[in-house]
Structure 1
Amino acid sequence: MKVEKKNWILLGLVALLCFTGFLNYKFNENIGDSPQVAMQEPSASPQSGDDAQAGEQAQPTASQTGDAAQANANALTYYTDFRNERKTNREQQIAWLDSIINDEKSDEDSIKEANEKKLALINTMETEANTEGLIKAKGFSECIVTIQDETANVVVENTEALTSAQAAQIMDIVREQTGVKSENIKIMPRK
């Protein structure tokens, strides 16, 4: 009886590990290979150019406006798809844990462990949502936060490279909300 429950728990942990690997793959799929934050210091010098062009504002062409709209739609789709996929996977994990909790054949240790994992998963989901909301409140149009063990990954929508001040803002929010150490937080801008 106990061996069977341990096998189910082991199977669940393997499934969770596979899910974690999948999330890691999805995060790095469109972002690039570098986990480093791309930073750009704000430029204090005016742009060079001749005097006739210096006072003029460049107007976007119709194709540039269309490209920007397409890029915005792609970004929205990326974040929406990721959130939907994450929600589906989390619902499956909770259903699996509930099946252990509600199974008459489950022993007390298995039920206790499943309850602890379910509570931890729900707390992680809440922390991720709160952190995403606070990052958006700082002016970023979209972001995704995932927390796993003692690491946190943040993908932020940014049309330009992140400045060091923006990266510091995000780092402070994530560290404060999650308790994850700075060296274990990865911030990745998505253009």
Structure 2
Amino acid sequence: MFSIKRKTIIMASLVVLLVVAGYLNVRFSDKTGDGTQASNTGTGNGGIVLSQTKDGDGSASVNANAGESGGDAASVSANYYANFKTERETSRNQQIEYLDGIIADSNTDAETLKQAQNQKLTLTQSMEKEVTVEGLLKAKGFEDVVVTIHEGSINVVVKDGDLTDAKVAQILDIVCRETKEAPENVKIIPKT
């Protein structure tokens, strides 16, 4: 009995570590290629303010020539999105494998089995929403986009050198409608 709980705790810990690693990957990937860090914050009334700072000095800085430096920058940007999606898929597949291991183990107690099944269901629902939102944003003209959904938090990394308030509103509309998440929980990160 004790070894079953210990295995379950170890498996659950590994799943949590994978989620934390994915979050940290997104968190530290907030820097764009030109050294600009982008973020948005809620204004308290559901509105979003998009700000970009260079080197953390608080001054606004947008590189108007970003993305015009030739084919190499476009290639690096395309690789970023492809690599991000590949890493996300690999991480999610590992999480599902761990959960499947818990679910398939005949020694798993009923409560742990139910928790693993619920986590797997939540994970697959998030994956489906991510693909849906990415597809809808691409249909609206956003060239490259990556969406990660976590409980109470959504990150949208979008390739757009000129992310206007109208485009931010369009992204927020799609994300909030498809995920039922509040606008203040959505972080839009422009990546050139």
TM bucket normalised to smaller: 0.7 to 0.9
CA-to-aligned-CA distance 1:57-77 (integer Å, 9 cap, x gap): xxxxxxx98x32111111110
Aligned partner of 1:107 in structure 2 is: 109
1:163 aligns with 2:164: yes
CA-to-aligned-CA distance 1:53-108 (integer Å, 9 cap, x gap): xxxxxxxxxxx98x321111111100000000000000000000000011111111
1:172 aligns with 2:136: no
Q: Greater CA deviation, 7-16 or 167-176?
A: 7-16
Q: Residues 156 and 188 of structure 1 are in contact (CA less than 8 Å); yes or no, is this contact kept in structure 2?
A: yes
Report the identity percentage. Answer: 36
The structure that is strand-richer by fraction is 2
Aligned partner of 2:61 in structure 1 is: none
Structure 2: gaps of 5 or more residues = 41-49, 53-66
Q: In the comparison of the two structures, how many residue pairs are matched?
A: 165
Aligned partner of 2:135 in structure 1 is: 133
Q: Residues 158 and 191 of structure 2 are in contact (CA less than 8 Å); yes or no, is this contact kept in structure 1?
A: yes
TM-score (norm 1): 0.78
Which secondary structure does the structure 2 equivalent of 1:186 belong to? strand
Q: Residues 38 and 162 of structure 1 are in contact (CA less than 8 Å); yes or no, is this contact kept in structure 2?
A: no
Q: Residues 38 and 51 of structure 2 are in contact (CA less than 8 Å); yes or no, is this contact kept in structure 1?
A: no
Q: Residues 103 and 113 of structure 2 are in contact (CA less than 8 Å); yes or no, is this contact kept in structure 1?
A: yes
The structure that is helix-richer by fraction is 1
TM-score (norm 2): 0.78
CA distance in 2, matches of 1:163, 1:129: 24
